[in-house]
Amino acid sequence: MSFNTVILKNFFKNLKNYALYMFALVFSVVLYFSFVLMSQDDSAVEEIQSSQLMSTGFTVGSVLLVVIILAFVMFANSLFLKRRNRELALFQLIGLTHGEILRILVLENAVIYFSSLVFGIAFGFLTSRTLLMILLRLMQVELSVGLNFSVQAVIQTAILFVGIFTLLMIQNFIFLKRTRLISMLTLDQSSEADYSGMGIGTMILGLLGLIMISSGYWLSMNIIEFGSVLLLVLFGILFLTIVGTYLTFKASVAFVLNMIRKSKQGCVSVNDVLSLTSIMFKMKSNAFLLSLVSIISAISMGLISFSYISHYSVESLIESTVSHDYTFYEEEDMQFYSHLLDDSEIEHRPLVIPTISYVARGDGIISGNGDDDSEISLNIVSEEFVDDTEVDEGELVIHGLSTVVGVYMDFDLNRSITLYNDDYEVTLELVETNEDAALPSFVARGRLQAVVSSEVYSRLEENAIHDKEQAEPHEAFVIDIVGEDSQEIFQLMNGENNPLFESRIEQYTNQIQGAGILMFVIGFVGLAFLMTTGCILYFKQIGESEDEKDTYKVLRKLGFSVNEIVKGLTLKVAITFGIPLIIGLLHTYFAVNAGWFIFGNEMWIPMLTVMGAYIVLYSTFGLVSILYYKKTVRDSL
Amino acid sequence: MIIQAKDIKKSYGNKRNRTEVLKGIDLTIEAGEFVTIMGASGSGKTTLLNVLSSIDNVTSGHVYIEDQDITQLKEKKLADFRKKDLGFVFQEYNLLNTLTVKENILLPLSIRETKKAEAEKQFKLVSEELDIYNLKKKYPSEISGGQKQRTSAARAFIHQPKIIFADEPTGALDSKAASSLLSKMKQLNKKINSTILMVTHDATAASYSKRVVFLKDGLIYSTLIKGERTQESFYKEIMNTQSVIGGVSVEF
């Protein structure tokens, strides 16, 4: 029997042990291939107005994906190498050179790689259909998803994975070169990190970690106050939370667990043996990995939350900036389109809305910096031009108060607001604030709008001082479609030689598609992050279960049942998976809380949805780990 | 003279916390000798074996095998040297669970592409000598510890290496299985004239050899030569020396 047949036999017999590694590979291929395939789907690209944005989004997403995949596959490979230590050592003992062993590894990996690539591409093809449907749904594009297979996507995927393959072989070669034969023979016995005790240093570090995280959180709560050095504060928060997280894992967790252990005074139960002590030893050496997991979780949850918030808020954001279905720059333009619509027998309502600007002060206005007698400039609109708003004589309603503006400015209802200029002033009672805009944004110029009764408006109008030097528009020309506006009407008006205009439905479509792509790409990358961190933790648990096999054996010989041992291990899995998750969730909450208003006007529903989905998916990996432990314990005796 | 060690020192750990395991050992082994290294736990016997067999590197000193300094050899030459001249038997069996007993034993011949008929002949010779010929189609998970140990020994002998290194080869065996393995090793030592270097803490095992070297705290403490004595009287002397080193009196 030649040596090659020995190697092949060994390989195929061992295939069961390689399953994990193959899974990692297939998973990565699926991820990448479906992503590439989707970005090259012509039928979708044609249909979508913002295809430029789409391709940019996909490019950024694919670069991130490559980074994640590379890190993930290399991690899996290093675990895989460690498990095969003794086999490789034996080959060296009987006289194979490093080069020959590397050749074996290349051969084996090539088989694994090639089959994973084929499987992955097949799966990826199926997944990409589903994913594309999700994407189009998010972008609110009606399009049936066909079956496009792109050879170019296959080639692109193949090139990437050949590149990764080369890197892995370099990794293997370095591993072989650097590991002494003696340490390979004894490696699997020395996995337990040396235990350096719970000194005063650990305690200080542990406290420091918690303090750093809390001060990071505190800064994020009060970020508005640091407007002038915002960037500096942002980096400060990042630094504090990231280093704090690391220290927490390095010291705080072990410290707390040790306190619990001490309080038991030697009477350790089976739960303690399997969870507390084991975690205490491993937490320190796994500190880097676990803090990576929590930070990555926080980043993906935070980013997905932000993108979901902006997707969720598109409609109300449009409402607060765009007041009418169509807005025109000149009165003639409005008339032109009015005729056009009449010709097509589309019922509509053209409007010319006059407006004047006044300075306002009074108890009703609360500015962000707590200054009581602050003044703001308002655009005054008469009540007759604003739908759904009832204003009596002596009353005033503020319009266009979006969430972003609301951060800097607030109003006290049922208090007075005085509108004034050099010659005239009138004091009115603020009865309501409203998010929706009453004027087109290029007329309002970022100012809030005050809606007053028509009598008050005409008095203000008479006394207005028209500043000749500032050529501000005093009228807005708009058309509202009676009933629902539609893409057909927009296309009818959007002729090539027609005058310029702004359309609410067009802005909405653009924004919802943009937000849809953004959310999809971020969601996809976030999902990739989630899956890889989950897999890495799971692989880690498998490794630990191998190491602890003897412990289970001893415990079972002592008379503990499988269920009792698994109960202890469940606690361990809950702690190993749970602590990074909890820290990640906290990080996410404080990050989203600090910046959500930039992206939209609803925080809780999108954030909690994202967190809920994340927790469910993440816990699946914990559950699978427990099942694996159960199997190991059952087989240990 | 097949192995010559000159002033071997070996220490572990970092600069601040250094443990010196071997403190300067000189040892010469002639071709065809069966030498045992003994000593209390921590005396450095396994480390010495690892260093002499090229598995571990020395901190200082030289190891010559057939006048070639293996501490200076390149990885490729070293692999070649292991392939041709060395055989290993370990306390743990180090068998591939995915291969049958026969395939495991034939591994060293496979990598040098020996002719099938020749390999078959060698296998029959060695496996019958070690009483495992009938197990050839079994997998390691299906045979007993002693049988695994003998498989591992057969693998070390099959390519008729010049030197066989054995680390506690009887550690996992009961006394009957141990003595059968040792007498087989002794016979093979005679038959194919391999040099055997064995590490053990078991005086019975040591009494099969021609010379016993005692280590204490990283230095050679004393050497016993069997000469023309019977195995029994040699055994007694080994026991006596052991109790002197360990400071424990042994009652007979």
Q: In this prediction, what percent of chain A has a pLDDT beyond 90?
A: 6
* pLDDT value, residue A387: 78
H-helix segments, chain B: 45-52, 75-85, 101-111, 116-129, 145-157, 175-191, 203-206, 231-246
Task: Tell me if B80 and A95 make a contact (CB, 8 A cut-off).
Answer: yes
Whether residue B31 contacts residue B192, with contact meaning beta carbons closer than 8 Å, is answered with no
* pLDDT value, residue A189: 47
Task: Tell me if B79 and A96 make a contact (CB, 8 A cut-off).
Answer: yes
Coil, helix or strand for B246? helix
In this complex, which of A10, A13, A94 lies closest to B82 when CB atoms are compared?
A: A94
C-alpha A312/C-alpha A504 separation (Å) is 17
Q: What are the helix and strand counts (H, E) for chain A? A: 22, 12
* pLDDT value, residue B247: 57
The answer on pLDDT for A608 being more than 90 is yes
A223–chain B nearest CA distance, Å? 47
C-alpha A165/C-alpha A524 separation (Å) is 24
The answer on pLDDT for A424 being more than 90 is no
Task: Tell me if B96 and A10 make a contact (CB, 8 A cut-off).
Answer: yes
State chain B's maximal CA–CA distance in angstroms: 57
In this complex, which of B79, B84, B110 lies closest to A92 when CB atoms are compared?
A: B79
CB neighbour list of residue A569: distance below 8 Å, 6 or more residues apart: A274, A275, A626, A629, A630, A633
Domain end, chosen from A465, A482, A500, is at: A500
> Does A487 fall in a domain?
yes
> Does A444 fall in a domain?
yes
Under DSSP, the state recorded for A276 is I
In this complex, which of A94, A98, A182 lies closest to B50 when CB atoms are compared?
A: A182
Whether residue A273 contacts residue A307, with contact meaning beta carbons closer than 8 Å, is answered with no
C-alpha B6/C-alpha A38 separation (Å) is 68
B103 vs A contacts (CB less than 8 Å): 1, 6, 9
Q: Give the model's confidence band at A349: pLDDT under 50 very low, under 70 low, under 90 confident, else very high.
A: confident
Exposure on the CB side of residue A173, measured as CA atoms within 13 A: 10
C-alpha A428/C-alpha A418 separation (Å) is 6
* pLDDT value, residue A49: 57
- Measured between CA atoms, the residue of chain B closest to residue A178 is B75
> Does A396 fall in a domain?
yes
pLDDT in tens, A104-134: 888 888 888 888 889 888 888 888 878 878 8
Q: A309-329 burial, b if ≥16 CB within 10 A, otherwise e?
A: bbbbbbebbbbbbbbbbbbbb
State chain A's maximal CA–CA distance in angstroms: 108
Which two structure tokens, joined as six digits, stand for A94?
């009987």
From the candidates A14, A84, A92, A94, which should be mutated to test the interface with B, based on the most B CB atoms within 10 A?
Answer: A94
B174 touches chain A (CB under 8 A): no
Q: List the beta strands (DSSP E) in A39-117.
A: none
Task: Tell me if A93 and B76 make a contact (CB, 8 A cut-off).
Answer: no
By mean pLDDT, which of A27-36, A265-274, A505-514, B51-60 is the weakest?
Answer: A265-274
Task: DSSP for A117-169, please give it.
Answer: HHHHHHHHHHHHHHHHHHHHHHTT----------HHHHHHHHHHHHHHHHHHH
B83 touches chain A (CB under 8 A): yes
What average pLDDT does the segment A591-613 reach? Answer: 86
* pLDDT value, residue A472: 62
Query: A345 or A369: which carries more pLDDT confidence?
Result: A345
Task: Tell me if A95 and B108 make a contact (CB, 8 A cut-off).
Answer: yes
Which two structure tokens, joined as six digits, stand for A25?
């590979």
> Does A45 fall in a domain?
yes
Whether residue B54 contacts residue B216, with contact meaning beta carbons closer than 8 Å, is answered with no
Task: Tell me if B96 and A3 make a contact (CB, 8 A cut-off).
Answer: no
What average pLDDT does the segment A46-58 reach? Answer: 65
* pLDDT value, residue A126: 83
* pLDDT value, residue B162: 86
C-alpha A506/C-alpha A170 separation (Å) is 52
- Measured between CA atoms, the residue of chain B closest to residue A5 is B110
Domain end, chosen from A500, A523, A550, is at: A500
A13 vs B contacts (CB less than 8 Å): 98-99
By mean pLDDT, which of A425-434, A438-447, B140-149, B155-164 is the weakest?
Answer: A438-447
Whether residue A618 contacts residue A534, with contact meaning beta carbons closer than 8 Å, is answered with yes
> Does A301 fall in a domain?
no
The answer on pLDDT for A453 being more than 90 is no
Whether residue A341 contacts residue A479, with contact meaning beta carbons closer than 8 Å, is answered with yes
Q: Give the model's confidence band at A51: pLDDT under 50 very low, under 70 low, under 90 confident, else very high.
A: low
Task: Tell me if A97 and B81 make a contact (CB, 8 A cut-off).
Answer: no
What average pLDDT does the segment A225-241 reach? Answer: 80
Task: Tell me if B106 and A99 make a contact (CB, 8 A cut-off).
Answer: no
A85 vs B contacts (CB less than 8 Å): none
The answer on pLDDT for A508 being more than 80 is yes
Under DSSP, the state recorded for B227 is T
| CB-based burial label for B118 (10 Å; 0-12, 13-18, 19+) | exposed
Task: Quote the mean pLDDT of chain A.
Answer: 80
What average pLDDT does the segment A292-304 reach? Answer: 88
Helix axes A98-138, B75-85, angle to 10 degrees: 120
> Does A612 fall in a domain?
no
C-alpha A432/C-alpha A447 separation (Å) is 17
Q: Give the model's confidence band at A365: pLDDT under 50 very low, under 70 low, under 90 confident, else very high.
A: confident
A180 vs B contacts (CB less than 8 Å): 56-57
Domain that includes residue A46, residue range: 1-190
Which of A443, A394, A446 lies closest to A417 in space, CA to CA? A394
> Does A17 fall in a domain?
yes
Highest mean pLDDT of the ranges A70-79, A135-144, A192-201: A70-79
By mean pLDDT, which of A289-298, A370-379, B44-53, B133-142 is the weakest?
Answer: A370-379
- Torsion of the alpha carbons at A220, A225, A227 and A232, rounded to the nearest 10: -50
Task: Assess if CATH 3.30.70.600 describes domain B3-246.
Answer: no
* pLDDT value, residue A43: 60
Of chain B, the end-to-end C-alpha distance in Å amounts to: 38
In this complex, which of A1, A13, A185 lies closest to B106 when CB atoms are compared?
A: A1
Pairing of strands A448-452, A376-382: parallel
Counting as low any pLDDT under 70, the low residues of chain B are 14-16, 93, 246-252
Task: Tell me if A93 and B82 make a contact (CB, 8 A cut-off).
Answer: yes
Task: Tell me if A180 and B57 make a contact (CB, 8 A cut-off).
Answer: yes
Whether residue B122 contacts residue B70, with contact meaning beta carbons closer than 8 Å, is answered with no
Structural domains counted in chain A: 2
Task: Tell me if B76 and A99 make a contact (CB, 8 A cut-off).
Answer: yes
* pLDDT value, residue A190: 44
Query: B16 or A173: which carries more pLDDT confidence?
Result: A173
- Measured between CA atoms, the residue of chain B closest to residue A15 is B98
Query: A323 or B122: which carries more pLDDT confidence?
Result: B122
Highest mean pLDDT of the ranges A51-60, A250-259, A537-546: A537-546
> Does A216 fall in a domain?
no
A99 vs B contacts (CB less than 8 Å): 76
Q: Give the model's confidence band at A473: pLDDT under 50 very low, under 70 low, under 90 confident, else very high.
A: low
- Measured between CA atoms, the residue of chain A closest to residue B56 is A182
* pLDDT value, residue A42: 62
* pLDDT value, residue A193: 46
C-alpha A350/C-alpha A564 separation (Å) is 77
* pLDDT value, residue A545: 84
Inter-chain contacts counted by CB atoms under 8 A, chains A and B: 74
The answer on pLDDT for A406 being more than 80 is no
C-alpha B63/C-alpha B48 separation (Å) is 11
Which two structure tokens, joined as six digits, stand for A551?
């412990």
The answer on pLDDT for A194 being more than 50 is no
